[in-house]
Amino acid sequence: MSTTPNNVRPLVSPRQPVEAAGVSFQGTLALDLDRDLEPPWAPDQPTRRGADVVAVSAPTRHDLHRWIVTFAQACVEVIGGDRPASQLIRWTSPQVHTEVAYRAGVVARAGVHAAGHGRGRRPTVRSQVQTVHTCFLAEDIVEFCVRVKHGERSRCLAGRLDVVAARWQCTALEFG
């Protein structure tokens, strides 16, 4: 007498070949190699790249990319002690400014120099922005990630920009 019900199939052994739709007999996926060569958007429409949620015009993307490079470079220079934190007040929310100023103070104490007064010292390594990636969540909200080279190491900044009082302002910033 069998203890398995009639509607239950026995388990398949892992060594038995199993046929599946779209899989060849060699176990590889069958790929559709006929590519659509047309762009996914009309040529006169704004482009959507990567993880963008909304379409953004190329000039807007280019201008914001340049702005993020400049902003990120200023942030790493503030934290490195080469620039005073007060230079970022206009471009950061109060919470972000407080965090950047605090980090600059910690680095200054560890490096035995005054924060924002890098003129009297010669840093052995200067941080340099290498790459910037953006994601437009709306026309006035952007998240970004920046890779910063610091000597032989790479570090990153991730943040969020919002339009506040008709200008971009960093409302969140994380360091990694």
Domain holding 137: CATH number? 3.10.450.50
CB 155 within 8 Å of CB 145: no
The pLDDT of 67-89, averaged and rounded, is 90
Q: What is the pLDDT of residue 158?
A: 93
Q: Tell me the CA distances in angstroms from 48 to 51, 67, 159, one per residue in order.
A: 8, 19, 20
CB 50 within 8 Å of CB 135: yes
Confidence of residue 125 (pLDDT cuts 50, 70, 90): confident
Domain membership flag for residue 34: no
For 170, the token pair is 């960093």
Domain membership flag for residue 138: yes
- 78 or 6: which leads in pLDDT: 78
Domain membership flag for residue 71: yes
Q: Is residue 151 classed exposed, middle or buried when 0-12, 13-18 and 19+ CB atoms within 10 A define those classes?
A: exposed
Q: What predicted TM-score, i.e. pTM, was given to this entire model?
A: 0.66
Residues in Cβ contact with 68 at an 8 Å cutoff, skipping those fewer than 6 apart: 132, 134, 144, 146, 161
Amino acid occupying residue 102: Y
Q: Tell me the CA distances in angstroms from 168 to 55, 102, 124, 157, one per residue in order.
A: 18, 22, 33, 17
Q: What is the pLDDT of residue 46?
A: 54
Q: What's the domain count of the chain? A: 1
List the one residue out of 147, 148, 175, 138 whose CA is nearest residue 159: 175
Domain membership flag for residue 73: yes
Q: Furthest-apart CA pair in the chain: how many Å?
A: 91
CB 160 within 8 Å of CB 71: no
Domain membership flag for residue 121: yes
Structural domain boundaries enclosing 90: 58-175
CB 175 within 8 Å of CB 98: no
Q: Cα–Cα distance between 77 and 80 in angstroms, integer? A: 5
- 6 or 110: which leads in pLDDT: 110
Domain membership flag for residue 155: yes
The pLDDT of 44-68, averaged and rounded, is 77
The pLDDT of 78-93, averaged and rounded, is 90
